[in-house]
Amino acid sequence: MKVLKNEPLKNHTSFRVGGPASAYVIPEDADELKKLIIFLYKEKLSYRILGNGTNLLVSDEGVPGVVIELRSGLDGLELLDDRRDGSIRIQAMAGTLLSRTALYAYEHGLAGMEALRGIPGTVGGAVTMNAGAYGTEMRDVLESCEVITREGQVKTLPLEALELGYRHSIIPESGLIVLSAVFRLRKGDPEEILKEMQEYQRRRAEKQPLDKASAGSTFKRPEGHFAGQLIEESGLRGYRHNGAVVSEKHCGFIVNEGSATASDIYALIQEVRTKVLEHTGVELTPEVKMWGSF
């Protein structure tokens, strides 16, 4: 399998920041991944899993140990059999982009993933964090997923075993890696499916800073509130820390205008949290995952 030493992670994250990984490994398929995990477990070596890097902030110093990229090797889609209840299933490998999976569903006249079309991450990452948009979450379309354990065992877990909640699953805390996922969808009108996808895309482009380097929504939605609204009410629209800026277009996004470091982005996240707490009494929790030392 491909192994890169001291690979800059800024080349693999949507924030476009981040120092090197000591070893950056790209398995060619699920079998190679399994062998790698067994080897790392036996050698007691630490590792991290990288999908599309769209919900991740890596420190400027980078991270020690092994980073395993799934996007290149674990990529593929398959249409499965019809069910008696009229549903049709799609199996997607963990490294497959969720947007590509949603388009694949549309191409086969399958409804249910329209709102997920604009999420830029991989299937594995989306399942791990129960990604969602516009009222649809992964748990609404997911039937099961195949995972690999720390010891290299492959298991199939049904939806209910994943304990999916708001941006949560048992996958990270259990040390599991998603290999593939099966989605249960329904037959629909291709024209209507496409129309819905285009409408969601229009709404995204209208309200979100898609032309800037970011990691999507920076903060989780506080119960009873919207993070972007709280940030705006706290007078932080356009607030900056060097090249890191609270988006003028959507205050729930922190963007890299091109010159920001990971430290700049992290500092801005903390400043926003402090000021929002002081102004509104609500504590914001970052949705973005953080690797390394800050």
Q: Which residues contact 224 (CB under 8 A, 6 or more apart)?
A: none
Angle, alpha carbons 41-46-48 (nearest 5°) = 110
Catalytic residue among 16, 150, 167, 203: 167
Region label for 220, one of left (φ > 0), alpha (ψ between -120 and 50) or beta (otherwise): beta
d(CA 66, CA 218): 26
Contact between residue 60 and residue 19 where contact means Cβ atoms under 8 Å apart = yes
Mark whether 167 is an active-site residue: yes
Mark whether 151 is an active-site residue: no
Q: What is the DSSP letter of 165?
A: B
Catalytic residue among 14, 59, 217, 234: 217
Catalytic residue among 114, 137, 196, 287: 287
Backbone angles phi, psi at 12, to 5 degrees: -130, 15
Backbone angles phi, psi at 187, to 5 degrees: -70, 140
Mark whether 100 is an active-site residue: no
Helices (H), 43-109: 98-107
Q: Any idea which residues carry the catalytic annotation? A: 167, 217, 287
